[in-house]
């Protein structure tokens, strides 16, 4: 079951024109939203923030805005059955919403941490990293390679070896009673969960710094984690970097 172009469709296939740019070029803009208590109005769902993300991308690309009432109607219907919604917009304003379950073993991983793999190859560098577009191939390839190495997530890097973000979220590091996260000038996605955590730290007067994650800085970190709207916050216990493996303490925010 999914929502497409103003209607709820109960089928396992979506039919697109062979020349559709979303099919040919991955020309869509999307956002992935976790729905709390089946409500788009729940403050942790962040409905308006997700809509703003889509609007910003559509304006930057010069694409047509969707019918926002129809988008919300589709999201409300699917939120009754799914805790996670992926909302995509095509260049002509068509909306496409799919639903899924939360990741398997999420609560276990939040308690025990995960393993991440450093994706050094240029093959894994994202195009248009400030936006979430349907052409997410590099991040997809990086995460699949990480899984093949018994890791759960990949960490993307730039040409200088600076850590940027994971294949699905934003990075956090801890040392000397301070949280750190890569700055947006590193050309990373301004994650909605990232903004929420920054607000949380500031409201609790917990020290947090946005900076460049160069190799010397990374080597000084005591704990690392990543965030996105689905997992919220996930500690990274072990990092695989080539033949080297580094373990970190588990640190919750």
Q: Name the token pair of 250.
A: 């588990």
- Evaluate if residue 211 carries a pLDDT over 90: yes
How many Å apart are CA 106 and CA 232, to the nearest integer? 10
- Name the residue among 240, 245, 25 with its Cα closest to residue 145: 240
- Evaluate if residue 127 carries a pLDDT over 90: no
How many Å apart are CA 228 and CA 247, to the nearest integer? 22
How many Å apart are CA 87 and CA 4, to the nearest integer? 10
- Evaluate if residue 243 carries a pLDDT over 90: yes
- Evaluate if residue 25 carries a pLDDT over 90: yes
2-100 carries CATH number 3.30.470.10: yes
Beta strands 95-100 and 2-4 are: antiparallel
Helix ranges (H only) for 26-88 are 47-61, 68-79
How many Å apart are CA 99 and CA 162, to the nearest integer? 34
Confidence class for position 75, pLDDT limits 50, 70, 90: very high
Q: What is the pLDDT of residues 36-65, one digit of tens each?
A: 999 999 999 999 999 999 999 999 999 999
How many Å apart are CA 226 and CA 154, to the nearest integer? 11
- Evaluate if residue 126 carries a pLDDT over 90: no
- Name the residue among 16, 171, 192, 15 with its Cα closest to residue 91: 16
Q: What is the pLDDT of residue 53?
A: 97
Q: What is the pLDDT of residue 10?
A: 96
- Where do the structural domains in the chain lie, given as residue ranges? 2-100, 106-247
> Residue 131 contacts by C-beta under 8 Å, 6 or more apart in sequence?
29, 57, 60, 189
% of residues, the chain, pLDDT over 90? 97
Q: What is the pLDDT of residues 136-161, one digit of tens each?
A: 999 999 999 999 999 999 999 999 99
How many Å apart are CA 77 and CA 218, to the nearest integer? 44
Mean pLDDT of the chain: 97
How many Å apart are CA 174 and CA 198, to the nearest integer? 14
Enter the DSSP assignment of 189.
-
In CATH terms, the superfamily for domain 106-247 is D-amino Acid Aminotransferase, subunit A, domain 2 (3.20.10.10)
Average pLDDT estimate for 116-120: 97
Q: What does the chain come to in residues? A: 253
Whether 91 and 54 have beta carbons less than 8 Å apart is answered as no
Across the chain, the runs of DSSP E, i.e. the strands, are 2-4, 7-9, 29-34, 84-89, 95-100, 114-119, 153-157, 163-166, 170-175, 178-182, 208-211, 223-227, 234-241, 244-247
């Amino acid at each position: 079951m999914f929502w497409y172009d103003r209607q709820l469709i109960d089928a396992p296939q979506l039919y697109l024109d062979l020349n559709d740019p979303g099919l040919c070029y991955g020309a869509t803009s999307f956002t992935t939203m976790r729905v709390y208590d089946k409500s788009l109005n729940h403050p942790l769902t962040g409905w308006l923030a997700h809509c703003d993300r889509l609007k910003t991308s559509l304006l930057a690309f010069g694409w047509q805005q969707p019918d926002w009432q129809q988008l919300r109607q589709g999201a409300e219907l699917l939120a009754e059955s799914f805790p996670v919604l992926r909302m995509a917009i095509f260049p002509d304003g068509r909306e496409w919403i799919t639903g899924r379950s939360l990741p398997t073993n999420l609560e276990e991983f939040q308690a025990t941490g995960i393993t991440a793999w450093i994706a050094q190859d240029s093959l894994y560098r994202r195009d248009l990293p400030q936006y979430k577009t349907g052409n997410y191939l590099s991040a997809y390839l990086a995460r699949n390679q990480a899984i093949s190495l018994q890791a759960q997530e990949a960490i993307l890097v730039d040409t200088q070896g600076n850590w940027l973000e994971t294949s699905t979220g934003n990075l956090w590091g801890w040392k000397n009673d301070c949280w750190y996260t890569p700055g947006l000038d590193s050309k990373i996605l301004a994650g909605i969960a990232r903004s929420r955590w920054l607000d949380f730290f500031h409201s609790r007067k917990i020290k947090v710094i946005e900076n460049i994650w160069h190799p010397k800085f990374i080597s000084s970190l005591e704990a690392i984690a990543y965030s996105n709207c689905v997992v919220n916050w996930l500690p990274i216990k072990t990092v695989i970097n080539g033949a080297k493996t580094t373990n970190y303490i588990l640190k919750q925010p």
